[in-house]
Amino acid sequence: MKKLLVMLAMLVSSFSVIGADMSNSADNFFKSEKVTMQKVTFQNQYKMKVTGNLFVPKNVEKNTKSPAIVVGHPMGAVKEQSSNLYAQKLAEQGFVTLSIDLSFWGESEGQPRNAVAPDIYAEDFSAAVDFLGTRAFVDRNRIGILGICGSGSFVISAAKIDPRMKAIATVSMYDMGAASRNALNKSQTLEQRKKLIAEAAEQRYVEFTGGKTKYTSGTVHELKADTHPIQREFFDFYRTPRGEFTPKGSSPQLTTHPTLSSNTKFMNFYPFSDIETISPRPMLFITGDQAHSKEFSEEAYKLAGQPKELVIIPSAGHVDLYDRVNLIPFDKLTTFFHNNLK
């Protein structure tokens, strides 16, 4: 019987691996032999502990101050999903890098878990600059910031009021405010928006009186015949060995799912308002030509001041740029940060 169970487990595992699309050298769990990694913690301005992975090039010259980059993970993800990959690849190019878990997610503090708090998310990036800028081996005048997916909008929000962020890049950016208010391609009506707001408001009564927390949106846990292509795209990353990762103390059922009662806080989030005031600090927007999120990078580029650049990657979708190293333009990111963190 025990042998049969082991065989069944192996069979299920093989199906999971087969189900993961590992094309274009998908390598989310990349481990570099050229850098050292140290888990670090620091407090944001609200005295909440933020946890991150600090990557330092092994060949860094002693007694020198290096440029540094903070890397933020996709909304609903954790630092082990996409941001560690980017942080290590950039550390290999000579940067000190720090991938962080946003508050309420991963190993960072914040209750309830998976709460939406865009102002605190933005604060976490400023707190990461506080941390890096007080390290003896980091040049505090050469700190850049990189946001993937939802973190793209959070780093813009942070950079507008934190001039210590000298160069700002986003990859597969989601404007979490516009996406919540209007959905993709402005497909959500005002009536639908109000319905979501009303449902979240009623849920507050449930939780205030000790009821069960309810979660919303995020990635589906099962593919069906009518599953939307965008959900299939996320499923292939978050629900297969390609990118699946559950932080200690969490549950796979909660991965990517924010709390329903807090999710409407994104309705009041306008990261592109006053984006032009970031100028003359440079901004780089990277998106795929097949990405369902491309509209957000294009809108941010249109509104941003100079200098700015929009890079559109051929044959790349939104999630492709999370981990497909043959599609991710690491050379472009390296050049951008080298040129602007001199």
**Per-domain boundaries in the chain:** 23-184+266-340
Residue 14 in this model has a pLDDT that exceeds 50 = no
- Options 3.40.640.10, 3.40.50.720, 3.40.50.1100, 3.40.50.1820; CATH of 23-184+266-340: 3.40.50.1820
Report the percent of the chain where pLDDT is more than 70. 95
Q: What is the DSSP letter of 215?
A: B
Q: Residue 70 pairs with which residues in a beta bridge?
A: 98, 145
Residue 2 in this model has a pLDDT that exceeds 70 = no
Residue 16 in this model has a pLDDT that exceeds 90 = no
Nearest to 50 by CA among 37, 62, 41, 59: 41
Q: Cα torsion for 216, 219, 225, 229, to the nearest 10°?
A: 120
Residue 18 in this model has a pLDDT that exceeds 80 = no
pLDDT of residue 12: 40
User: pLDDT tens for residues 71-92?
Assistant: 999 999 999 999 999 999 999 9
User: pLDDT tens for residues 304-320?
Assistant: 999 999 999 999 999 99
Residue 124 in this model has a pLDDT that exceeds 60 = yes
Residue 39 in this model has a pLDDT that exceeds 60 = yes
What is the Cα–Cα distance from 271 to 278, expressed in whole angstroms? 12
Q: Return the amino acid letter for 128.
A: A
Mean pLDDT confidence for 18-45: 95
Report the percent of the chain where pLDDT is more than 90. 92
What is the Cα–Cα distance from 106 to 248, expressed in whole angstroms? 8
pLDDT of residue 248: 87
What is the Cα–Cα distance from 162 to 159, expressed in whole angstroms? 5
User: pLDDT tens for residues 202-242?
Assistant: 999 999 999 999 999 999 999 999 999 999 999 999 999 99
Mean pLDDT confidence for 112-125: 98
pLDDT of residue 234: 98
Q: Residue 206 pairs with which residues in a beta bridge?
A: none
Q: What phi, psi does 110 have (nearest 5°)? A: 135, 125
Confidence of residue 168 (pLDDT cuts 50, 70, 90): very high
Mean pLDDT confidence for 92-116: 98
Confidence of residue 15 (pLDDT cuts 50, 70, 90): very low
User: pLDDT tens for residues 263-290?
Assistant: 999 999 999 999 999 999 999 999 999 9
Residues 6+ apart with CB under 8 A from 165: 125, 129, 143, 144, 145, 155, 158, 159, 281
Residue 285, CA atoms < 13 Å, CB-side half-sphere:
28
Residue 22 in this model has a pLDDT that exceeds 80 = yes
